[in-house]
Chains A and B, each alone.
Chain A
Amino acid sequence: MRNKKIKAAAVMLACALAAGAPAAAGAETVLRIGMTAADIPRTLGQPDQGFEGNRFTGLTMYDALTMWDLSSADKASVVIPGLATEWKVDDADKTKWTFKLRPGVTFHDGSPFNADAVVWNVDKVLKQDAPQFDPSQVGVTASRMPTLVSARKIDDMTVELLTREPDSFLPINLTNLFMASPAKWQQFYGKAEGADAKARSQAAWAAFAKDASGTGPWKMSSFTPRERLELVKNDNYWDKARVPKVDKMVLLPMPEANARTAALLSGQVNWIEAPAPDALPEIKQRGFVLYSNEEPHVWPWQFSRVEGSPWNDIRVRKAANLCVDREGLRDGLLAGLMVPATGTFEPGHPWRGNPTFQIKYDKPAAQKLMQEAGYGPNRKLTVKVQTSASGSGQMLPLPMNEYLQQALAECYFDVQLDVIEWNTLFTNWRRGAKDPSANGSNATNVTYAAMDPFFALVRFLQSGMAPPVSNNWGFINNPKFDELVKKARQTFDPVARDAALAELHAASVDDAAFLYVAHDVAPRAMSPKIKGFVQAKSWFVDFSPVTIVP
């Protein structure tokens, strides 16, 4: 009897060792990420859900002609060559650009990346009679490269891009145009059923989204809509230094902050975006690691500059900027999760410049400016700001606005809040301060991404960008800004262009064009087993260098 027991134990031990040994030797490393998105961002090449979409299903599976350098946590993230190795604008005609393509790159399906693929991908969003034209991808793409008109193949590895007007921002804008595999799409199109070419095209894109093919460092391995996307590393990635070190990445939508936090704390995932702020002490106490860094994001008040607006007086604009204790906001309400904003870009950024107006907390100076403008304790200036109760990038809009309300009250402002639903606020943003939707507000509180010059500066400062064209909500009309925008757009040497943009930014700070309040810091929490992660000053993340230690 005793022998039988020993034998049984020995067999069990052998089985356990046999099962465990290969697992230990070749254990698959899996990065499980809880995203803030409620759904998997679109996987067909041009993701939805803003830059979170680009972060997870754009830059992972796809590449663009140009890309962001995400290797440093200290330096500003700048544009570097991607699928194009070099580019230049035509000396005689500044609307023509030539891009030299990277040789030897293949899509995940094995088909080659070449000039035909670039033209095909431009046509998918710009050429309405192209079979692959997809209206659902137009909005998120064309708006981010507003001057691009068309693409033409010069030879297999050279392509010419045409813009509507001279535009030195094009290489930066092109970080948003991801290259999907035409060969793969064509396979689906060939098999697609539909009443007409448009229906077949839609069916082909729907099939492509389930079995996507790009050139990126990660390949799609399985996709359950609204639940999970599994990506595996692309061993054949063209940049050997960026072949992922982790075998697999699983992306899980978890829109609720407490659910994400619980998933991390219970070990279901090993990485979460935006943990619940009040759980940060527990997350740290349990040994998880918190990361954050300044993001190209601005939490502002955008002033109305239409006739009769109190913000037309520069003393009032400057006073508002000097009356806010941003450090107090950071250390109190936001528990350290913000960077005080002293402009759209902070010192160290190539587009910062040297503004003479220093944005800081200086209440006496603010009060003095307001008194010079004719206001005081007995004659307060009433201003109204439209904001939302929540929303992507809005951080904590209501408490933050109430903080400003209290702070500005000490500088003789009487701030009224007009709180509306986030999507409505977004829609109103396009309509401008003159539209009835502004509801008498003379400022709006819509946060914005400041990744590229058009979105960070031009669309707000150039007079021609007033509604209905773009987001100059307050109808700013400053000839100096227009001149500097033109100069920056028509300066094609990258260093000189950056200098021109810095000049434009400095001018906007000197003019106190916005009430600059905060930059978000993109907090994320992860298991201490995750190593090698670098949180760049960007909306984006490079997952390739991440490792998981046993």
Chain B
Amino acid sequence: MFAYIARRIVYVIPIVICVALVCFLLVHITPGDPLVAVLPADASQELAAQLRSAYGFDRPLPVQFGLWLWRALHGDLGSSIATGRPVLTEVMRAVGNTVMLAVAAAMIGFTFGLLFGLIAGYFRDTWVDKVATSVAIAGVSLPHYWLGMVLVIIFSVQLNWLPAVGAGPGGSGAWAWDWEHLRYLVLPAITTSVIPMGIITRTVRALTGDILSQDFVEALRAKGLRETAVFRHVVKNAAPTALAVMGLQLGYMLGGSILIETVFSWPGSGLLLNSAIFQRDLPLLQGTILVLALFFVLLNLLVDIAQAAIDPRIKRS
């Protein structure tokens, strides 16, 4: 197991370097001026040149990349052009808010996804299956930003039960784990959870149906095992794939949703990316993408390890 983990970690290193390179290059090949946040369009070319030099954008691209990577390796992602604040602080604050949202959404989405998937799989081709599958298809198909707006109209504007926007009455900086604050999380978390719930329902339904049709399940039943014991075997066999899908979904949610976070003004990484894109704030954009990409890499690593722990066949292969 240790060798397996070590091998997976070694594989991560080239991936991280490639991710860093892609992050850096992607934002440089997009059109627009990286100084647009601090340089109005009416500024003269002379002033633009002066600032380009002050920010180091007049240096060759490989030199800029080298310097950026060197600083990033030392935990310094530079400062935002627009705000002057350290990128790492900005990203970590936003990521913290997105993690909170993602975990809340995962709790809702994974719970209902697993539940609906297992029920649909166990009662395949019955009306129960059809209801659960319809819910799953609706979850995957509905545009989540649209759903968010509809929920806001119903629960905030019409019923006035829940707040429409924000991360707490005093912002995320004054967050507390009480209902006064948690009520701000309800609508964005439900909206975020809908897609993973649909995907997990469909995955688990297919897996359950597939496993139930296998010979070993018949053998288990023939041996006289009770249905709960058979169910445990089904869950254990479905777990590696379901876990991989859940890991990916959690990764997507940790990446933040630009649309959902914008609709709810939730100060997470999606909103941060949105702001960085519109302001052409290259250091912030690069830093945010890098941190989010690393999240994905890390999550995949953890899922690989968890899968290997559950299913010894993976470790051996």
Contact = CB atoms under 8 A, between A and B. Distances in A.
Interface string B9-44: 000000000000000000000011101111111111
Instruction: Name the residue among A137, A205, A268 with the largest chain B CB count within 10 angstroms.
Output: A268
A470 interface: yes
Interface string A336-362: 000000000000000000000000000
Contacts of B85: 206, 209, 225
Nearest to B280: A423
Contact of B160 (A42, A252, A253, A267): A267
Contacts of B157: 262, 265-266
Contacts of B271: 38, 226
A168 B302 CA distance: 67
Given A140-B40, A262-B157, A426-B41, 13 more contacts: A38-B271, A38-B278, A39-B83, A140-B39, A206-B86, A209-B83, A225-B85, A254-B265, A259-B264, A267-B160, A427-B41, A448-B42, A469-B46
A172 B49 CA distance: 26
A225 B83 contact: yes
B153 interface: yes
Interface stretch (B64-72, B99-107, B164-172, B291-299): B164-172
A139 B38 contact: yes
B190 interface: no
B79 A427 contact: no
A168 to B, nearest CB: 19
Interface string B129-168: 0000000000000000000010011001100100111110
**Interface residue tally on B, bucketed by range:** 35 or more
For the complex of A and B, the 8 pairs showing the least CB-CB separation, nearest first, are A468-B45, A423-B32, A143-B43, A139-B39, A262-B164, A135-B54, A227-B171, A266-B156
Interface of B: 31-33, 35-48, 50-51, 54-55, 79, 81-86, 90, 93-94, 149, 152-153, 156-157, 160, 163-167, 170-174, 262-265, 267, 271-272, 274-275, 278-280
Nearest to A255: B262
B82 A259 contact: no
Contacts, number: 175
B42 A143 contact: yes
A259 B164 contact: yes
B31 A205 contact: no
Contact of A424 (B32, B45, B51): B32
A48 B37 contact: yes
Contact of B165 (A259, A427, A471): A259
Contacts of A209: 83-85
Interface string A143-171: 11010000000000000000000000000
Given A262-B164, A263-B165, A423-B32, A430 B84 contact: no
B275 A38 contact: yes
Contact of B51 (A139, A430, A455): A139
A514 interface: no
Instruction: Name the residue among A256, A426, A469 with the largest chain B CB count within 10 angstroms.
Output: A256
Nearest to B49: A468
A256 B263 contact: yes
A138 B156 contact: no
Interface in A252-297: 252-256, 258-259, 262-263, 265-268
A417 B166 CA distance: 38
Contacts of A245: none
Contacts of A263: 164-166, 265
A263 B164 CA distance: 6
A365 to B, nearest CB: 34
B265 A146 contact: no
A459 interface: yes
A66 interface: no
A397 B160 CA distance: 35
A180 B316 CA distance: 66
A486 interface: no
A256 B262 contact: yes
A48 B81 CA distance: 11
B263 A259 contact: yes
A259 B262 contact: yes
A484 to B, nearest CB: 20
Given A136-B38, A143-B43, A262-B156, A427 B51 contact: no
A423 B156 contact: no
Contacts of B156: 262, 265-266, 268
30 contacts: A39-B275, A135-B54, A136-B81, A138-B50, A139-B38, A139-B40, A139-B43, A139-B51, A143-B47, A225-B83, A225-B85, A225-B93, A226-B267, A226-B275, A258-B263, A262-B149, A262-B152, A262-B156, A263-B164, A421-B31, A423-B32, A423-B278, A424-B32, A426-B41, A427-B32, A427-B33, A427-B36, A429-B41, A467-B45, A468-B45
